[in-house]
Amino acid sequence: MTQHKLTSCQPLIVGIGGGKGGVGKSMVSSNLAVQYALAGLKVIIIDLDFGAANLHTIFGLRQPPKSLGDYFNSPRSQLANYLVKTNVDGLQLVPSSGFVPELANLRHQQRVKLVNHIKTLDCDLVLLDLGAGSSLNVVDFFSMCHAGIVVATPEPTAVVNAYEFLKNVVYRIFFRMLKNNKHLTLLLKQSIKPNNALGIRTIADLIREVRKHSEWAADTIEDVCNDLCFHLVFNQARKTSDLQLGTKLNEICRKYLGIQLNFSGMVFFSEEVPACVYKMCPISLAAPDSVTSKTLKSIAATTFNRIARQLMDENAPDSFDQQIARAGHSIQTDFERNLLTQKRLQKMRERQYLTPAALEMVGLES
């Protein structure tokens, strides 16, 4: 990863989201932030999960001194004044602690203010840890980023929710782009309905209908789909064959949304992760030599390099299938090493059931 800013005017902004709760977005985002900071980047991570903010606890803060609730309740506030230092050099956090009902549905002016302030932050990289689902807040913030990371668990419901999330993001971009054209806005609304009278089932169908009214708008939609930069991270995987669901998700996105995903990597289930959450410390710091930490370091580097190359208009990235094929060997190795780690942890747990007297009987020291 480069240690220099891509631009001098604003930081690179990357959103981390997904359609389903409990897939580990905060775990992934917090550890990516740590990995980027350790690589020498100046990083700010913002907790935008207003309904279940917990990012501050991962960094060991039970009650942060300031948060987004304070920021929005102060009309003339500047986001830079609400940064909280972490125990990682180069990494700062904007917490969103406490229950603030007003944050569940931010007003348009509040969203604009926050986005404008994010763009002026003095750093190399801003990571937005977004809430679950496809609310207007989540979709809006995800769609304004330079790139987005979609976190999903390799199970059918999570994959379906990830697709629905991406569909909402894509259409939100279209609506914002064509908001001044009432006729095309109406066409967009009709196209979302299943079995609509226009026969629109895919983005290709939508472009066909839009082209009847505006060549420029049709070409723009096509360009947007080609330029969208979404990266898939599978979390809590149990077996290497889970990759097949990633391939399926990409096929559906390509067919119906006209976009190609990038495969960033797969994190296997590890009991070390919840243990680190309990300790209130990212696994990248608590267990830097673990399989999970090394996987997250690889995901951080792979994702950043692909985003940077795309923003610099370099050669088009490899296809999703090529990316998975290239990652196949390391994923198999991660799986085998992680399996050994889990077996070791299981043996340690089983040993805890033996009393000192029982251990002495079998010639072991307690």
pLDDT at 239 over 50: yes
Does the pLDDT at position 351 exceed 80?
no
Contact between 250 and 235 under an 8 Å Cβ cutoff? The reply is no
Answer whether residue 350 shows pLDDT above 60: no
332 Cβ contact list (under 8 Å, min separation 6): 240
Q: Is pLDDT above 70 for 123?
A: yes
Instruction: Output the furthest CA–CA distance in the chain (Å, rounded).
Output: 85
CATH architecture label of 12-345: 3-Layer(aba) Sandwich (3.40)
Domains of the chain, by residue range, sit at: 12-345
Looking at the chain, the whole-number percentage of residues with pLDDT higher than 70 is 86
DSSP string, 296-355: HHHHHHHHHHHHHHHHTT-SPPPPHHHHHHHHHHHHHHHHHHHHHHHHHHHHHHHHHTS-
Q: How confident is the model at residue 59 (pLDDT cuts 50, 70, 90)?
A: very high
Question: How confident is the model at residue 132, as a pLDDT?
Answer: 76
Q: What average pLDDT does the chain have?
A: 85
Let me know how long the chain is. Answer: 366
**What is the predicted pLDDT for the residue at 293?**
94
What confidence tens digit (pLDDT) does each residue in 163-208 have?
999 999 999 999 999 999 999 999 999 999 988 999 999 999 999 9
Question: Among 12-16, 60-64, 152-156, 357-361, where is mean pLDDT lowest?
Answer: 357-361
- How high is the pLDDT of residue 326? 80
Pairing mode, strands 84-85 and 91-94: antiparallel
